[in-house]
Amino acid sequence: MFNKIRLWKNKNNSSTLRDKIEKIKKLPVPEHVAIIMDGNGRWAKKRALPRIAGHHEGMKVVRKTTKLANELGLKAITLYAFSTENWKRPKNEVDYIMKLPDEFLGTFLPELIEENVQVKMMGYKSQLPVHTLSAIEKAIEETKNNDGLVLNFALNYGSRAEILDAVKQVVNDCNSGKLLEDQLDEKVFSSYLMTTEFTDPDLLIRTSGEIRLSNFMLWQLAYSELWFTDVLWPDFNEEHLLEAVEAFQKRQRRFGGV
């Protein structure tokens, strides 16, 4: 509670933000929001800073976004933090990104615990450095009894690999007789994905002006509402998140019906 008050007091326009939050909370909010946090490198370049400065700034936005998502009563946010393709980047950049979970959770974990947030992760764990994985596993362990907002990090995540692995597992289970081909439907297939405990995202946000999915949740985003902004991730703030949720509330979802 104290943290929330502090968050809003820091803002000059706090009453406007509060009004907006209250207004948004009167209508149904998306249950699960997925975010492609893009534009850290360009944010740094604009300031003649190294790319890693953009990643550091972006980490602070994760904190603010989590707090507001919690305040709005969302059930889950999935944040694309590192893709299976991001290993192509220069080693110093990858090394820096892999240190961010230690730093972020090192400072923010007590707050997450206090605010009843559950930390989760989806992605290929075995390729992650030990220090990265242990920071995340510690956070998962220490927040596992919380039942508020789920903060799900997509780290070393790639949707095609995820789908392919699910297919392999399905084949295995069919061969061993654990699963009958006739039993396989969309719901059962979904249970083989990394998102088995989540509902599909209702809303996808991507920052930085890129209009693509970059191998993110290809199966799960089939009927999500998409919201793109030119704002670079380190500049993304509470107003922008509220704008996205407000836009979502105005959309009419039909799921193929009329």
Which of the 8 DSSP states describes residue 86?
Answer: G
Q: Smallest distance from the beta carbon of 103 to Mg ion, in angstroms?
A: 20
Picked from ligand IPE, Mg ion, none, the partner binding residue 81 (CB below 5 to 8 A depending on kind) is ligand IPE
Pairing state of beta strands 150-157 and 203-206?
unpaired
Q: How far is the CB of 170 from Mg ion (least distance, A)?
A: 32
Helices (H), the chain: 2-9, 14-25, 40-46, 51-72, 91-114, 130-142, 159-175, 186-190, 238-250
Closer to Mg ion by Cβ: residue 62 or 166: 62
Pair 25, 73: CB distance under 8 Å: yes
Choosing from 33, 38, 133, 244, the residue that interacts with Mg ion (CB under 5 A) is: 38
Binding piece for ligand IPE, criterion CB under 6 A, among 3-11, 25-33, 35-43, 239-247: 35-43
β-sheet with 32-36: strand ranges across: 118-122, 150-157, 76-83, 32-36, 203-206, 225-228
Q: 3-class SS at 89?
A: coil
- Which is the catalytic residue, given 19, 40, 86, 230? 86
**Catalytic residue status for 38:** yes
Site string for ligand IPE, 210-249 (x = CB under 6 A): x-x-x-----------------------------------
230 annotated active-site:
no
List the structure tokens of 132: 């990265």
Does 122 participate in binding ligand IPE (rule CB under 6 A)?
A: no
Catalytic residues: 38, 86
User: In the complex, which residues of this chain contact ligand IPE (CB under 6 A)?
Assistant: 36-42, 80-83, 86, 97, 208, 210, 212, 214
